[in-house]
Structure 1
């Protein structure tokens, strides 16, 4: 977390934007660290919690769109390669697909709130060609809820951490 705090504090909110885009594109990113770190920066570096929230929401949406488009154009091939290379994620992918099948568009929102699955939902939605506008509409509240929770935790409880 110290590294993330350092880079955001030193180089500004553009680094936060890039880290959050990466977090939404790459399942291996430490999701439990990025948002609280953003909240700490908002509180300690006087960046403004509203500004940090807005940047994280836009960045999360950009990252989700990138993964959706990747799924849209090369999703089936990519998913098969992922399953072969990382057999453990097959369960996560199947779980994501089941949530989407059971809850339709509300499933997008639900998946946004579940660690690891929240990243794969964009790829799967692109792969099965979910309506893009509905994908965006149902992603925004889920991204907001996830980011808001982490940022608020960092904002209010991160006062003891120094960078």
Structure 2
């Protein structure tokens, strides 16, 4: 008799539970992240068709020979969200909540890259990777030559 009563209660409780769980599963917090592919993003130009918006050409920069970098200033720039802003995409030593969409730079000094190559990559990564999303910090005058050298010095000391 007791088992029959439990069975009767479960017969209406289980479908109700399934309905509640299915409603929860479709909340925004439980949907996978993402969106449309980049090619489907809206284009915000009134004068150029999508995909044909002109940009400055990539520049293969030569490192200035008369500049010395300061790793402390470089660290401050790399961690400054309104200037270098490296932490938006990269994890870095001493950085609070670094990004995860680009390589982890916390051990960058062990990668074996020359000072000249690091400078050129920060100046304009497009010279190495055509479709990169990394801003051309030197070409677009986001950072000065001295500021790039400071960040290079900081990265060369990141072990």
Q: TM exceeds 0.5?
A: no
In the superposition, the TM-score normalised over structure 1's length comes to 0.26
| Bigger helix share | 1
In the superposition, the TM-score normalised over structure 2's length comes to 0.27
Between the two structures, name the one with larger relative contact order (CA 8 Å, sep ≥ 6). Answer: 1
